[in-house]
A and B are shown apart, each in its own frame.
Chain A
Amino acid sequence: MNQTVTLSARREQLTHHMRQFGGIFLALIVLCVIFSFANHRFMSLANFTNILQQVAVIAIAAFGMTWVILLGEIDLSIGSIIAVAGMVGAQMLTFGVGFVPTLIITLASGAVLGLLNGLLTAKLLLPSFIVTVATMSVYRGLVSLPTNGAPTMIMDPAWTAIGGDSFLDVPIIIWIVAALFIINHVLLSRTTFGRRAYLTGGNREAALYSGIKVDRLKILIFMISGVMSAVSGVLLSSRLYSAQTNAGMSYELDAIAAAVLGGTSLSGGSGTMIGTLVGALIIGVLNNGMTMLSVPYFYQLIVKGLVILVAVWLDVRSKRRQA
């Protein structure tokens, strides 16, 4: 074996990470610099807090999406799960159920919807793309059942505090994003569960022959995605003081964009939570910066799409270089 094998583990990892995220971090910094030149108010603590708050819903959903994509699957139903969760919470609160039980049941509803996606994918061997296109529609329909499509107001002070209040001068919503980021990150990068996900996404047959219960893993990961979406749903409904039937519409696309911008490979087997967080921030910074510059919405859409294309292209190119 080459002498270099004994190279310190730490340095190896560092260079590895640099290669992996260098481009994406750079993109984030470049965007920030551009926007702060264009508008001096952009570079302020208040605005960054604002961006983080705006990005929270997407970022949390994207953490779940990262697990799914890592496995070589896709979950298009998360926007609908966001809406279902908001409605479940709003309805229970309206019927006078307490905050804590409501929260638990809301998150559990996300887990159940995720479980359904997972069972259909793993046990019926249907492609997750098809399964979640279908459940996206079914779940979206479910949202309107209790109210025939009308929004439900939320008065509960604890529920609305999640999206509005601060703890130690930092908005609660940011604490939640930070906590979920750390949990997902540790789970993915420091545990056997995370390693199994990478392995299964990288080569399903090899995972099977290594004794991994691939089906169970897949179901669990769809459940994680469901729960993360439910958290997003809670945050969103809390910020809007209501549950809306069209809440979270097309958020799955932003979540996918965040994960892919962050270097998660759509063919499975690679990706990180840090990358996804940065990816979500890029989307947030773009939205925020362009709004501050009063760029019309349709231009924002065009720019956002182009930035995603360029970033992913740069990423793919740099990876191909190394190969």
Chain B
Amino acid sequence: MTSNPVFEARGVEKIFPGVKALGGVSLSLLPGSIHALLGENGAGKSTLIKVITGVHRPTSGEILLDGNRVHFANTREALAAGIGVVHQERNLIPRFSVAENIHLEQLVGRPLRPIDYAELNRQARQWLDEIELDVDPTRPVSELSVAQTQLVEIAKALSLRSRVLLLDEPTASLTPSESQTLFSILRRLRDSGVSLVFVSHKLEEVLEICDRVTVLRDGRNACESQSMQGMNRQDLVRFMIGRNEQAGGWRKRDVTARPVSMALQDVATAAGHRNISFSVRQGEILGLYGLVGAGRTELAKAIMGRIRVTGGQVLIDGQAARINSVADAIHRYGLGYVSEDRKSDGLVLSHSVLANAGIVVWRKLAGRFGRLSDAAVRKAVLPFLEQLEVKTPSLAQVVANLSGGNQQKISVAKWLAAGVKILIIDEPSVGIDIKTKAYLHQLIRELADRGTAVVLITSDMPEMISLADRIAVLDNYLIQGEVENDGVYDRMSQAIMNLIHHEAGHAAVPA
């Protein structure tokens, strides 16, 4: 490759109070390339992207565009210079429509000009079609699922037609098929000369579409920007964590002798589910697979009493359960729910790590008159935070200041410490690095081994196949069938996809 870098960052340093996020990082991007930016949770990937796009001011270091030093005081200046970005955290305005959000940058630029909504919606439709997202552009973003908002953010970034496009974990909440659609767009952009940066903890994706790579470790370059030619998964892992990956795959767990913990019989919900029936035994991990929009999260919320159940019944330990509120579900029936949306349903971003991690153990630890000390909470949650290697300067740190993956760890850890009988885990490893993912899987298996019934919702097919004992497939708010997991990836993923496309696969067992 002989072309000159279109973009360069040199010796970028960023110090937050008490935390050195970046300690002299460099990055160089070539035109017409997809550049992987890798590193563990808290390595500094998002911080680097925020420095490049003018969100954060670097403590020191320089940024060059086409070989000229540039300086972005804010995000709009970066945009104007042709640098677009999809941040790891969603930045949409919930009450605005999809179309308004996509065109936000253009709208704020001309405050007094009337808005031609028909034209706005038409253009938005075009970008949504491009990424094959079937939502009405006039719908408010607040009604969309996590994955759908992620796709809207991507559509928004595409609509800006930037020369350099930085994507911070764009596929974190997407299923493989949505990711494939995205990849074909990214390839097309690459071929037209755009320079792309792609952050992901899913190394299969990185190996599939990236041609160059930079790896960060603890705020420094673990490798300089280089070609990915000839690199395999293990090479990337070694750069990231300094050693090889631990294998901790699927193992057969026999739970047929255990009693059924929770059973749904012909459940219908206000969200539109019909005839939902499945059961999960004590100590069993039941996977719930489906594409974005299949109704998995809504089903979880219905079980938890947040969405009305309109028909059928939910049995807990063989007894019909009357769950009218989330508090009922948790306190009367021993259910727990790890939300897929940590930011809106899981965490209080402005509170400390300790306050967040301890929420569901408060009641258990409280003494007379509800007295509770921080020390007790600390003792209960610290083991889980340590096992998941939460990277924080202290337990008093505000959660908003942690890296995305570390926030996710806390959102999950809080429920691991809760000691519930039935745990519904919705997208637990979004944004979590490969090393921690292995630990997290270990914790989930241990939880099941101790007798907890686990319902696992994940869009991450490898994760599903390495954790679940049985997989129920949901599509269009209906259960399409179940497959017994045997841990063989190709066979399982084929069987699951067959069920989604309504063909009775050979491995499918009638529900």
Contacts and interface: CB of A to CB of B under 8 A. Distances in A.
Contact of B392 (A2, A202, A210): A2
A5 to B, nearest CB: 6
A190 B372 contact: yes
B350 A4 contact: no
Contacts of B382: 5
Interface stretch (B208-216, B232-240, B362-370): B362-370
Interface in A168-216: 190-193, 195-196, 198-199, 202-203, 205-206, 208-213
B193 interface: no
B393 A2 contact: yes
Contacts of A190: 371-373
Contacts of A321: 17
Nearest to B352: A16
B371 A206 contact: no
Contacts of B414: 210
Interface string A1-34: 1101101010011001000000000000000000
Interface of A, secondary structure class, is helix
B345 interface: yes
A148 interface: no
Nearest to B351: A202
A269 interface: yes
Contacts of B360: 210-211
A2 B391 contact: yes
A191 B372 contact: yes
Interface in B146-176: none
A193 B370 contact: yes
B416 to A, nearest CB: 14
Contact of B348 (A2, A202, A213): A202
Contact of B344 (A5, A192, A193, A205): A205
A323 B400 contact: yes
Given A4-B394, A199-B359, A9 B375 contact: yes
A8 B325 CA distance: 39
A186 to B, nearest CB: 8
Interface of A: 1-2, 4-5, 7, 9, 12-13, 16, 190-193, 195-196, 198-199, 202-203, 205-206, 208-213, 269-270, 321-323
Interface of B: 17, 304, 306, 325-327, 329-331, 337, 339, 344-351, 355, 359-360, 362-363, 366, 369-375, 378, 382, 385-386, 389-396, 398, 400-401, 414
Closest 7 interchain pairs by CB?
A: A211-B330, A202-B348, A191-B370, A192-B370, A203-B348, A192-B366, A192-B362
Given A191-B366, A202-B349, 15 more contacts: A1-B385, A2-B394, A5-B385, A12-B396, A192-B363, A193-B370, A203-B349, A206-B346, A210-B359, A211-B360, A212-B327, A269-B350, A270-B350, A322-B17, A323-B401
